[in-house]
């Protein structure tokens, strides 16, 4: 009996490896060109500042090289029928057009198409033929057919002229697989701050999301790890908590759990790079509940990061200078803070298409769009036997919790498949 894991982020990787190491063959389906998920965009963990790449890269490679794991990237689940122990799953496998593995990347040089680079949160450009990110797995170039001129109007085949490996004739195929269990680990989307127009995210380049800052902090990122905003190093930075979290107005009444601490971590990393900058944080309540998190919060405060109680109210420009307005609720007085860079700590949202996937799989979503677990005592099961949940698709959580839940879901899937095998 085989298993299926949907989603190749940390939760899905952990689940696939655990199922495979227990002696079951497992399919891992990933929608993107590479596995790794959101964590691949993150530089360090909190509170212990571990380099994510050091943990994630070996995990991705282990999955890729594992004899019992069939990796299906650039693929999506289209349908599921049957019942526990005997699911039939329809999967669409889309082509990469370039063979997997290390490539010379000459094709990238000759490609005339430039589009925003999603991996770097659109801060820089990539070509229509590109390597998803520095340690992508599978390795090598891929073609994004929605932007490639060959697929648009047949007007270009420059990459093929420099590379014999490229095959424009590859077609998407739909396969059907038989599996005994399914682990759903499809992750999350970050909140779109344009839904809070008073924060002027769309209006000013100096207003960025926390995920954009994560890319800017990365040595492999669009600025090579230099903190540059509008061409200059910022002298003052304000972080704004709870953007798209605890906010009924945008349909997200819940706390996203991770923003207090990832902001503390980003403020810490920023202080290392900008020893003289003014750094402050607007918070409503500080939620530093994880192991070691309160201590880390204190450490960040001691690095002269000023925490001011009160949510960011609005952002405007005062003749070229950004100004953030808020109330200091401890002083009961509003204030204005000039800032070269304003970082919006965007919350965790369910994937845009989570309801569709729930319908395909026959599982439930809650009023916020997250998948619903069976009950308190069966926290990784769903009401549909044989389908398990892991990671942020079930609710906002940090990397460590997602990995744990991936392991827990795998254990349940292994148990179920073991029972059916005997």
Partner 1 sequence: MSLVEDIEECGWVFGKDTVDSLYACMQCGKCTGSCPSGRITGYRTRRLMNKVQSGDRSILEDPDIWLCTTCYTCYERCPREVKTTDVIRALRNVAAKEGHMSKAHRATAMYVIKTGHAVPINDATKKLRKKLGLSEIPPTTHKYPEALKAIQDISKKMKFDKLVGFDWNTMNLEDREEK
| Interface residue list for partner 1 (CB under 8 A) | 198, 242, 246-249, 284-285, 309-314, 325-329, 332-334
| Cα gap 390→7, rounded to integer Å | 10
Q: How far is the CB of 307 from partner 1 (least distance, A)?
A: 14
Distances in Å between the alpha carbon of 171 and those of 92, 93, 286, 402?
Answer: 11, 9, 51, 34
The phi, psi pair for 417, rounded to 5°, reads: -70, -35
> DSSP E strands: which ranges in 185-249?
188-190, 207-209, 236-243
Of residues 92 and 247, the one with the C-beta less far from partner 1: 247
Distances in Å between the alpha carbon of 345 and those of 191, 236, 283?
Answer: 9, 17, 10
Q: How far is the CB of 270 from partner 1 (least distance, A)?
A: 23
| Cα gap 373→223, rounded to integer Å | 41
Of residues 164 and 367, the one with the C-beta less far from partner 1: 367
How many CB atoms are located within 10 Å of the residue 300 CB?
A: 25
Q: How far is the CB of 198 from partner 1 (least distance, A)?
A: 6
> DSSP E strands: which ranges in 73-110?
75-83, 86-93
Of residues 285 and 385, the one with the C-beta less far from partner 1: 285
| Residue 98 near residue 107 (C-beta atoms within 8 A) | yes
| Cα gap 363→383, rounded to integer Å | 7
Q: How far is the CB of 333 from partner 1 (least distance, A)?
A: 8
| Cα gap 76→32, rounded to integer Å | 9
Q: How far is the CB of 352 from partner 1 (least distance, A)?
A: 22
* DSSP secondary structure, 271-287, as one string: HHH-TTSEEEEEESS--
Q: How far is the CB of 48 from partner 1 (least distance, A)?
A: 30
DSSP state of 165: T
Of residues 185 and 242, the one with the C-beta less far from partner 1: 242
Q: How far is the CB of 327 from partner 1 (least distance, A)?
A: 3
Of residues 318 and 332, the one with the C-beta less far from partner 1: 332
Of residues 148 and 346, the one with the C-beta less far from partner 1: 346
Alpha helices in 8-99 (DSSP H): 10-21, 52-65
Of residues 178 and 336, the one with the C-beta less far from partner 1: 336
């Amino acid at each position: 009996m085989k298993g299926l894991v949907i989603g190749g982020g940390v939760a899905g990787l952990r689940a696939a490896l655990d199922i495979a190491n227990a002696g079951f063959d497992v399919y891992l389906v990933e929608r993107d060109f590479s596995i790794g998920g959101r964590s691949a965009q993150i530089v360090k963990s909190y509170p212990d500042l571990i380099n994510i790449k050091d943990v994630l890269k070996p995990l991705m490679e282990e999955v890729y090289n594992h004899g019992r794991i069939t990796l299906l990237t650039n693929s999506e689940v289209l349908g599921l029928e049957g019942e526990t122990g005997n699911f039939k799953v329809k999967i669409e496998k889309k082509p990469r057009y370039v063979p997997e593995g290390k490539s010379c990347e000459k094709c990238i040089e000759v490609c005339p198409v430039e589009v925003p680079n999603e991996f770097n949160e659109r801060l820089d450009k990539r070509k229509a033929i590109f390597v998803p990110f520095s340690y992508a797995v599978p390795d090598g170039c891929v073609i994004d057919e929605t932007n490639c001129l060959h697929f648009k109007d047949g007007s270009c085949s420059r990459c093929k002229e420099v590379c014999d490996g490229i095959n424009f004739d590859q077609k998407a195929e739909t396969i059907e697989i038989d599996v005994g269990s399914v682990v759903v680990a499809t992750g999350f989307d970050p909140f779109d701050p344009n839904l809070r127009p008073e924060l002027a995210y769309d209006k000013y380049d100096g207003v960025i999301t926390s995920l954009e800052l994560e890319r800017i902090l990365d040595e492999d990122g669009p600025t090579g790890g230099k903190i540059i905003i509008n061409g200059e190093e910022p002298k003052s930075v304000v972080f704004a908590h709870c953007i798209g979290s605890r906010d009924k107005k945008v349909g997200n009444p819940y706390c996203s759990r991770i923003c207090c601490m990832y902001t503390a971590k980003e403020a810490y990393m920023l202080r290392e790079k900008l020893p003289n900058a003014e750094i402050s944080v607007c918070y409503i309540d500080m939620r530093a509940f994880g192991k070691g998190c309160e201590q880390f919060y204190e450490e960040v405060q001691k690095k002269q990061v000023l925490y001011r109680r009160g949510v960011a109210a609005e952002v405007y420009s005062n003749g070229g200078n950004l100004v953030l307005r808020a109330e200091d609720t401890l002083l009961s007085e509003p204030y204005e803070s000039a800032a070269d860079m304003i970082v919006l700590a965007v919350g965790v949202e369910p994937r845009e298409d989570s309801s569709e996937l729930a319908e395909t799989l026959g599982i439930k979503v809650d009023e916020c769009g997250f998948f619903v677990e069976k009950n308190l005592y069966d926290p990784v099961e769903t009401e549909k036997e044989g389908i398990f949940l892991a990671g942020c698709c079930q609710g906002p959580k940090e990397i460590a919790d997602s990995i744990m839940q991936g392991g827990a879901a795998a254990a349940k899937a292994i148990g179920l498949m073991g029972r059916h095998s005997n």
